[in-house]
Amino acid sequence: MKRKQLTTIFSIVVMGGGHFVNKFFLKGLFFFFIGLTFIYNLPGILQNTAGLISLGDTPQTVKGFDIIQGDHSILMMFDGVISVILFIFYALVYFYSIKDARRIAEQIEKGETILRGKDYLIHFYEENFPKIMLTPAILGTIFFTALPILITIMIAFTNYSAPNHLPPKSLVDWVGFQNFINIIKLKSWAGTFGRLAGWTVIWAVATTFLNYAGGLVLALLTAKKGIKFKGFWRSIFVLPYAVPAFISLLVFRLMFSGVGPVNNMLASFGLEKIPFFTDPLLAKIMVILINTWAGAPYFMILISGSLTNISSSLYEAAEIDGATRYEQFRHITLPLLLFQTAPVLILSFAYNFNNFGAIYLLTDGNPVNSSLKYAGETDILVTWLYKLTLDHQQYGMAGVISIILFAFIASISLYNFTRSKSFKEEDMI
């Protein structure tokens, strides 16, 4: 039997066995140790995987004054997912050990020189330096980003919600696509979701456009020839951005509340108080305008920097050709600014789509509307998610909305970004 075939058989039977056949004892011991840890952890992996499938069979019970704990479905889900990831890891190492042993056997059969010990480690380090450096970031992404997303997706397929399916008191069950069906078919859920989704799109588009337009106007005004003390004016305009946003938002909430200074001033002049945050339409207009106040200075700074990158020779050539100021702005300034700032503009849309702080701090989603399920008139989808989870424990439905939000934002952002000139013509500058 050839060495390569013998190595393959030993590697399949015992992890690291092929390396012992090839007399690579350190490598063989390394893979053998990993194989032993897999065998040691296998019962736990199988038990956790079974728990992931069942989500528990024993609910919490009460006997007299004693509470007898049962299965915790959500913890079992976490343990099950981590066990599956561990199993995949062991499987990858197992197949890699077979492949590596076969490669070594093939090199031995051909009489090639094989690096060993320190020389092999140096070669491995130099050959795989980028992968080694990226590994911590990849592991962090898996456990702190991908794993929560995966758990959220899985919760969307359960009945994890108050009052009857909240661990540890009671068990959670898999319900398939029932939550997705409910959010489409049940009138209360569908009506609320449709209305909030429409308002969220309007909110995101309006705030992104107004923030950009406001920043553009301020940047053009402060960059205009003949304006004195440009640094002073820019410092004044940037103050709303320099102050922590939550302080500005809370001040606006106090000023325009029913008993706030603005309404008191109107009353002192004999005028009627204005329901800034209690009228549904006016409350929506107010949150958009206040968010523009807080966000426009950011774009002013960004656009002011971008304006310096536009060559003055373009404007000189345009003036020689008889172009007006408006034509120069339309055909030179605006296209070049959009080219430079398009990725930030797209990210700003995604940020505003999920701008939890602005809505929560200004109105807390109010005014109340009894026809909306667990939501107010100014709630956007992300603040509705907050209420569904922390206030009303409707985790299953919140998981469905999270998936829809993620899919919408990711697809819109990716589509727009790949169609922007800064993506297609990245070598232009």
In angstroms, what CA-CA distances link 264 with 267, 282, 284? 5, 18, 22
pLDDT given at position 2: 77
159 phi and psi angles, rounded to 5 deg? -100, 35
The answer to whether 222 touches 305, Cβ cutoff 8 Å, is no
DSSP annotation of 370: T
The answer to whether 183 touches 405, Cβ cutoff 8 Å, is no
DSSP bridge partners of 165: 161
Positive/negative CA dihedral, 324, 328, 331, 335: negative
In angstroms, what CA-CA distances link 218 with 41, 304, 340, 352? 63, 9, 18, 21
pLDDT given at position 429: 47
Q: What is the mean pLDDT of residues 102-122?
A: 84
- The model's pLDDT over 214-260, given as tens digits with 9 standing for 90+, comes to 999 999 888 887 778 878 888 888 888 788 888 889 999 999 988 88
User: With 0-12 CB in 10 A as exposed, 13-18 as middle and 19+ as buried, what is 370?
Assistant: exposed
Q: What is the bridge-based pairing of β-strands 61-63 and 66-68?
A: antiparallel
pLDDT band at 424 (very low <50, low <70, confident <90, very high): low
pLDDT given at position 81: 94
- The model's pLDDT over 307-352, given as tens digits with 9 standing for 90+, comes to 888 888 888 888 888 888 889 888 888 889 888 888 888 888 888 9
Q: Which of 193, 196, 173 is nearest to 59 (CA)?
A: 173
Question: Which element (helix H / strand E) includes 19?
Answer: helix 17-21
- The model's pLDDT over 153-169, given as tens digits with 9 standing for 90+, comes to 999 999 999 888 888 88
